[in-house]
Amino acid sequence: MTSDTISEDKDFDFNGIFPVCTDGFNWDKEAYRGEPDANKFTSLCSGFYIQESKGNRSTDFSKLCRVLALYLKYIGAKEEYVRKNCCKLFYYKLKKDIIDIFLKNEYPEANVCYQKMIDYRKNGLDIQISNICKDDFVNIDVDSCKIMENLFEIYNYINLFKSNSYQRTTQKMRDFMSCIKKLETHSDKYKNRLKEELDKIIKICVQYRNNWEGWHKSASDLLTESWIEKRRIYFNGEAAKTKSIHVQTQTLESTVFDSQASMSTDTGGETSTGINIGMVFITFSIFIMIIILYKYTPYFSFLKPRVRKIRRRLNKNNKNNLDLMYSFDVEYKNLIHDRYNMAYK
């Protein structure tokens, strides 16, 4: 086990949070809230801010605080193992939306801030912040916060595409794809866990490609197979590269085989001609190579004595052939001459 893997096991575990803990809940602080306790939580959060902070941003704080209060109530109905993961998301949002913006000096620790919110009471209100996540506190470091923010953005787009088809625009899709690609910028020690998250996200992307129709398809078509494969390769490493190359090779071999089969079927009568042309070409190529080797390299020098010997033998044979031809010509001329003499006499 590598040091990175060990470190990863000790760090914040964000698997199991998305999409279970985000589905069905509206995180928009400006959205209309029809829940019965929405207005009560707004008043409760406003009172808490006035009591604990010296700032003048009560309205902004109350909107974000109300969302978290409603979220705690929302996850109360979930099973315990799901709720534990959802509490991780709560602590992330508490740190990012409440502490870092409004209460960084007063309550920098998320568990301390949460306890203060639980304990707060306001006269005339029969409501309080739920303590459902009190025993499931997790410390979220800077790197983990960045990853959570990245994943939260991605699933925010997924929920947006799901709840409102008019948001399925090419620009929204480009922003969505940019968030997915951003996963590759995080520390390598989180690679294994991010791979699990990416696998879930890729499945959703494939569903978009297969299911979106009409004018939505221009957006889903941006999720090309090559783009998806690049995301997989980054997290799967060399294994995915090898698999990708293997698949491409098989495809190429299949294409070549099919082409050869087609050519064989279409040009059956020309097969022998093609073979003859090929043999001539190969013979000519070998001849050219021999000439090059002989003229420009020492590779053929060991054959020179044999070449001279063969040349002498050829010359001798040629001379004998010439003598034979000469004697034949002489005899032939003499024979003709004798015939002429006999005829003359």
pLDDT digits (tens, 9 = 90+) for 197-217: 999 999 999 999 999 999 999
Mean pLDDT of 296-302: 53
pLDDT > 50? residue 342: no
Kindly report, residue by residue over 126-179, the tens digit of the pLDDT: 999 999 999 999 989 899 999 999 999 999 999 999 999 999 999 999 999 999
Write down the pLDDT at residue 345: 44
pLDDT band at 325 (very low <50, low <70, confident <90, very high): low
pLDDT > 50? residue 111: yes
Write down the pLDDT at residue 5: 34
pLDDT band at 35 (very low <50, low <70, confident <90, very high): confident
pLDDT band at 270 (very low <50, low <70, confident <90, very high): very low
Write down the pLDDT at residue 36: 84
Mean pLDDT of 71-84: 92
Write down the pLDDT at residue 131: 97
pLDDT band at 9 (very low <50, low <70, confident <90, very high): very low
From 27-31, 65-69, 200-204, 311-315, the region with the lowest mean pLDDT: 311-315
The contacts of residue 284 (CB under 8 Å, 6+ apart) are none
From 263-272, 273-282, 321-330, the region with the lowest mean pLDDT: 263-272
| Contact by Cβ (8 Å): 11, 189 | yes
pLDDT band at 321 (very low <50, low <70, confident <90, very high): low
Mean pLDDT of 295-314: 58
Write down the pLDDT at residue 14: 85
pLDDT > 50? residue 238: no
Mean pLDDT of 19-25: 91
Mean pLDDT of 281-297: 69
Mean pLDDT of 29-40: 90
pLDDT > 80? residue 292: no
For Cα atoms 166, 23, 19, give the angle at the middle one, nearest 5 degrees.
Answer: 110
SS (H, E, C) the chain: CCHHHHHHHHCCCCCCCCCCCCCCCCCCCCCCCCCCCHHHHHHHHHHHHHHHCCCCCHHHHHHHHHHHHHHHHHHCCCCHHHHHHHHHHHHHHHHHHHHHHHHCCCCCCHHHHHHHHHHCCCCCCCCCCCCCCHHHCCCCCHHHHHHHHHHHHHHHHHHHHHHCHHHCCHHHHHHHHHHHHHHHHCCHHHHHHHHHHHHHHHHHHHHHHHHCCHHHHHHHCCCCHHHHHHHHHHHHCHHHHHHHHHHHHHHHHHHHHHHHHHHHHHCHHHHHHHHHHHHHHHHHHHHHHHHHHHHHCHHHHHHHHHHHHHHHHHHHHHHHHHHHHHHHHHHHHHHHHHHHHHHHC
pLDDT > 50? residue 262: no
Write down the pLDDT at residue 191: 86
| Contact by Cβ (8 Å): 59, 23 | no
Top-ranked range on mean pLDDT: pick from 85-94, 187-196, 249-258, 272-281: 85-94
pLDDT > 70? residue 304: no
pLDDT band at 85 (very low <50, low <70, confident <90, very high): very high
Mean pLDDT of 81-89: 94
Distance CA 178, CA 184 (A): 11
pLDDT band at 2 (very low <50, low <70, confident <90, very high): very low
pLDDT > 50? residue 272: no
